[in-house]
Structure 1
């Protein structure tokens, strides 16, 4: 980069003052950005603790909540690393941050920021034996005093402001943890592999209007939008807590009770895992809401094919040339509200 001497500040002897740190340093930016990116697998793991295949207890939920909180905190630390990388890339890195080169230094700054940001409080905390490693790490970054540490935190927070931290994610994680083991209604969230197969069978086309009735916590809806971001997806859900989750995830919630749902338009596809206690009613209602040529893909219980109470419904499936395939018998044990109910997937195309 070529600097113009006309634009530089000067010392008393008329020699130009050049602050080399206000020149973009892409190498330092990339190193910090790589450190931040390397945290992602751990963040994802902690924010999605694997307790769904265990018997749900209050103790396990508490443990999971703690793990999720760790993931949220790591995500904030990651955002601080990205912020410092961005400063180096833009060439506006604050002098107090120029010695930071390791994740441990940024983590120490974040943890200290949670203690209270007065010099006296920081000084009292860091005087203890427990925080010796933090002190050593920050010293290597050129941060030797409580005043310098607080200044570094302040500079980072000028870019990553506290209100910019995604509180929506925190609330969402809290709500999703609370619904684990939920006994209200017929709620068995669809595991990812089953979502994948449902969406594959739907053979979705660009700009389709798609409905997920009884959307639950949004597992199927998420897979649809992740795979086909350009479709117009609408969801329906009756449970208040689950509706909150769907709204926080940003889905277009268009109804509550699906059996009373009366939209102003029809859909190209209904992709669903209906409550089995009202299975037949939900399937028939979804069928009514499809355009000619529309696709209905649904999870149904294995019992449809041997329980006499489903005789009429089974005949209806046959009359409409339904495609049926087995689901792995243990598929729903990986749900965050597990069940060993055997299931199949059906696909029908409306004439």
Structure 2
């Protein structure tokens, strides 16, 4: 009985920690690589915090469109903070160890914020659809109560979808010894493939999460814009058509900035295993770092009210403008 219990204990191995990788084959110049990464993280945090302050301090921005933008900015802050500590620790100090449980926590938040971002982009497309298709009832449909409920539903959806993932990984048997991850953060496909066990359930559940969140969201966003275009084409004046479409440009760019890297990451992890590790690393960084960097830039350039409010925040003027 004792030998059987000993065998079970030996046969199941859960690593105390993982060893993270920076950008493969470029470790020698990691000090130089840390400069653009530090700059991007700084831009992402600064830009998104400015949007949050601008909306909070400007009463005339207290509208559904800008509340959803605030949700997007808050999500981008969370996504940035999910990867920044370990990425900069690897690049600045070559500190590459991360505890097993800490890795699962980071992975949970990283993927949860990604699901939240996808859901917020869907909510923003619904906002644009209502604003263009039924402008007279816009304020009545998207009340503050409705917006709060949408926000809570988005968070609940992400939490419930990702909650089983860490527990499924904790059931896996890993190979003894140091386990090297492909990134400077814990990414679900990367972690589960380091197991010396059958990961069919993990793969299927991961695919279910992707399809039931980003997959459905992207289809509904396309449907929203199909209906928006149909409404816009029904407008009599070409000037009205351009004006209506112009209100969607920022959101369309944000959708492209988010979903193109998501598709790239999914394709590479499923069909590009033969590609060099540096390609996997760079695509993953684009997926996680670029949207939080570009979203504030897109909205500050395309939205005059946001741009003016952000400038007032930078000048230290608390806006009370109506």
Larger relative contact order (CA 8 Å, sep ≥ 6): 2
Give yes or no for TM over 0.5.
no
Q: Give the alignment's TM-score, normalised by structure 2.
A: 0.28
Q: Which has the higher helix share?
A: 2
Q: Which has the higher strand share?
A: 1
Mark the structure with the bigger radius of gyration.
Answer: 1
